[in-house]
């Protein structure tokens, strides 16, 4: 493109963006005033994604349908976040049980090698204490996760 065509395009774009629009009494819109009392519409923020603070505070009053929709969307998003958190916590809970079962299985396997003597009996007692500790630790973690899940579920029903 040469310089002249670029300049012409820029001029056309700048003039098109400054055109005024008038609303007539019959509900139609046009570029020229309908009568002597016609005033141009302010379309400066039409199409903009972010409204200015003054227009947004007036436009989004607490009783407006837009603010109602906004609160519905916020509520929906929050509920989806809570459901994801619950799902994550339930997965962690299943993982704790899986790890607990694997540790207990490993300890039982080691207990099979205990001899039928005093040392073997002492070793089996030690393994039994380890199993108890593993189960208590898992129960503590699962209890915490269950409380968090319960709290989130109660928040979800509000």
What is the block-wise mean pLDDT of the chain (158 residues), using blocks of 10 residues?
63 55 72 74 58 48 76 92 96 97 92 75 89 96 97 91
Q: Report the chain's terminal Cα–Cα distance, integer Å.
A: 62
Distance CA 19, CA 34 (A): 15
Q: Tell me, yes or no, whether 38 and 72 share the same domain.
A: no
Decide if 142 is inside a domain: yes
How many separate domains does the chain show? 2
Q: Which residue has the tokens 């002597």?
A: 36
Decide if 58 is inside a domain: no
State CA 98 to chain mean position distance: 29
In the structure encoding, which two tokens stand for residue 110, read together? 């080691």
Number of helices and strands in the chain (H, E)? 4, 2
Residue 130's nearest CA partner among 99, 158, 108 is 108
Decide if 117 is inside a domain: yes
Decide if 5 is inside a domain: yes
pLDDT for 9 equals 62
pLDDT for 24 equals 76
Distance CA 8, CA 17 (A): 14
pLDDT for 60 equals 46
Q: Tell me, yes or no, whether 72 and 41 share the same domain.
A: no
Domain with 138 in it? 67-157
Where b means 16+ CB within 10 Å and e means fewer, 41-60 reads eeeeeeeeeeeeeeeeeeee
35: CB partners within 8 A, 6+ apart: 24, 25
Decide if 61 is inside a domain: no
Q: Tell me, yes or no, whether 38 and 97 share the same domain.
A: no
Decide if 62 is inside a domain: no
Decide if 147 is inside a domain: yes
Distance CA 118, CA 125 (A): 11
Decide if 144 is inside a domain: yes
Q: Tell me, yes or no, whether 90 and 147 share the same domain.
A: yes
Q: Tell me, yes or no, whether 137 and 71 share the same domain.
A: yes
Q: Tell me, yes or no, whether 39 and 97 share the same domain.
A: no
Q: Tell me, yes or no, whether 85 and 132 share the same domain.
A: yes
């Amino acid at each position: 493109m040469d310089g002249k065509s670029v300049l012409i395009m820029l001029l056309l774009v700048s003039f098109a963006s400054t055109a005024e629009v008038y609303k007539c009494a019959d509900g139609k819109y046009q570029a020229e005033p309908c009568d002597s009392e016609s005033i141009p519409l302010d379309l400066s923020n039409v199409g903009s994604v972010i409204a200015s603070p003054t227009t947004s505070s007036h436009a989004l009053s607490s009783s407006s349908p837009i603010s109602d929709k906004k609160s519905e969307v916020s509520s929906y998003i929050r509920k989806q976040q809570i459901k994801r958190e619950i799902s994550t916590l339930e997965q962690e809970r299943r993982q704790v049980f899986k790890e607990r079962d694997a540790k207990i299985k490993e300890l039982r396997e080691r207990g099979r090698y205990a001899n039928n003597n005093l040392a073997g009996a002492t070793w089996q007692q030690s393994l039994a204490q380890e199993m108890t500790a593993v189960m208590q630790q898992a129960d503590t973690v699962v209890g915490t996760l269950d409380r968090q899940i319960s709290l989130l579920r109660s928040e979800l029903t509000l």
